Amino acid sequence: MGRRIVAAIGGNALGATLPEQRRAAEETARVLAGLIQGGDQVVLVHGSGPQIGLISAAMTGLSRTDPDHPMAPLSVCTAMAQGYIGYDLQNALGEELLRRGLNRPVVTLLTQVEVDPADPAFDHPDKPVGTFLTEAEAKEMARRGNPVMEDAGRGWRRAVASPRPKRVVELESIRTLLDHGTVVVAGGGGGIPVAAQGNALKGVGAVVDKDFTAALLARELDAQVLLILTGVAGVSVHYGKPNQRQLTHMTVPVAREYLARGEFAAGSMGPKVAAGAEFAQSGPGRRCVITDLSHAADALRGQAGTTIG
């Protein structure tokens, strides 16, 4: 019996254009298909910060030129991003599995995530979305009333609230699909953020961090491994400094100590380490592995990347 793995890949790793996204989806599929071929069950969660930002900008531009088209809320933009990113990932995974002689169903599930409207995150927007901006563009965006932030030394981006996920609404559907041998793409963009109002679920103006959603899914699905795929080979301390050093392993207390010291940027590695520590602490035998696509197989064997657990 193989492992149950929840894998999370960042939106930036999926490229900035549709052709780049298709190529990234194919590369992701090759890595995950290797795990599935080895007997592992896989749920794939993806980020979509850049894509949500592009969709929001496009919809805002449309609403400004045509008053008959109202502004699209962030929750709707997340749903759109789930669809078009999932489309590429689902097809790439299905094709790669067939190439390996595995006739395995792959499904992209539109996924909602319940958040608390009173979450303090709404008062402190710190989730970067959209394309990178120059400092002048960022200042103009801030002047128009939109929060901006500097994103880990890479440039400026729009900042939105990022509340913690409380519940994956479609959890039982994901579990059923997984139990019946389906490869599931779920929780795209961290999930569509919603709040309960009676029997209804209403969209919320926020973007949920996909790493925390992946950690929540991994806990609820009783996964053994949370695999966070990012743009670097592993987690480093003193990042970008002459004494930068990659960590091969962190216990949960050590990870929390580094987080408390502000060692990892809030908009990039910080949520990954925090989510990984939460998952590793949630049950015996659970571990989080953080690495890039090219080192994923080795990292799962403990020969690359950073393991928390």
Cα 276–Cα 282–Cα 288 angle in degrees, nearest 5: 25
3-state helix, strand, coil in the chain (%, to 5): 45, 20, 35
And the tokens for 304?
A: 């690359």
**Of these residues, 188, 210, 234, 270, which one is catalytic?**
210
Residue 127 designated active-site: yes
Interhelix angle 74-99/18-37, rounded to 10 degrees, is 50
Whether residue 202 lies in the annotated active site: no
Strands (E), the chain: 4-9, 41-46, 106-108, 112-114, 127-133, 148-150, 156-160, 167-168, 183-185, 192-197, 200-203, 225-229, 236-237, 245-246, 249-250, 287-291, 306-308
Respond yes or no: is residue 166 known to be catalytic.
Answer: no
Closest CA to 252 of 276, 277, 275, 273: 277
Report the DSSP pairing between strands 148-150 and 183-185: unpaired
12 part of the active site: yes
The pair phi, psi for residue 43, each rounded to 5°, is: -115, 130
Q: b or e along 275-287 (b: 16 or more beta carbons within 10 Å of the residue's beta carbon)?
A: bbbbbbbbeeebb
Residue among 10, 11, 49, 187 flagged as catalytic: 11
Is 272 catalytic? The answer is yes
Which residue out of 86, 272, 305, 309 is catalytically annotated?
A: 272
Q: Which of 47, 86, 127, 309 is catalytic?
A: 127
For residue 307, the SS3 value is strand
What positions carry a catalytic annotation? 11-12, 127, 210, 272
